[in-house]
């Protein structure tokens, strides 16, 4: 395999759900699937960084949004990328209501657990994308 699945997490700085997406992205890229994934920061896409734009163009991209504005998903598409699968923290939280995230610079236990749930889902999706089993969303 020559290409990695690109993960673009929310940039919601100062927002708990944004922190959950970034924590989940790091867990996938650094622990769960380091050989098959790479993170592209949303901020670089927003700024029009050519390297970030090139990374999402023609790649299988997973976006992670912290709120209904869906900035990660929208900016990947605006940069010419196709979103293979989009995740939202709110959907993950609805499925796991006992995991109430709190905190911004440091997540509470519930937030860490929710990030792990999301990371596990993304790792599974990464495996499916590499195997060719997920269509673009």
- CATH, residue 90: 3.40.50
User: pLDDT tens digits for 102-135?
Assistant: 998 899 999 999 999 999 999 999 999 999 855 5
Number of domains the chain contains = 1
- Give the H/E segment covering residue 88: strand 83-88
pLDDT digits (tens, 9 = 90+) for 29-38: 999 999 999 9
Quick check: is 23 in a domain?
yes
Residue 136 belongs to a domain: no
Q: What is the pTM of this model?
A: 0.91
Q: Within a domain: residue 134?
A: no
CA dist 58 and 69 (Å) reads 24
Identify the domain containing residue 98 by its residue range: 5-129
Is 137 part of a structural domain of the chain?
Answer: no
């Amino acid at each position: 395999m020559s290409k990695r699945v690109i993960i673009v997490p929310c940039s919601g700085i100062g927002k708990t759900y944004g922190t959950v997406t970034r924590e989940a992205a790091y867990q996938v890229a650094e622990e769960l699937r380091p050989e098959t994934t790479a993170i592209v920061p949303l901020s670089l896409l927003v700024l029009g960084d050519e390297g970030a734009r090139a990374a999402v163009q023609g790649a299988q991209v997973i976006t992670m949004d912290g709120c209904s504005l869906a900035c990660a998903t929208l900016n990947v598409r605006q940069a010419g990328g196709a979103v293979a699968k989009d995740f939202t923290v709110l959907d993950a939280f609805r499925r796991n209501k006992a995991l109430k995230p709190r905190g911004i610079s440091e997540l509470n236990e519930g937030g860490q657990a929710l990030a792990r749930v999301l990371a596990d889902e993304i790792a599974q999706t990464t495996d499916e994308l590499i195997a060719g089993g997920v269509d673009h969303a």
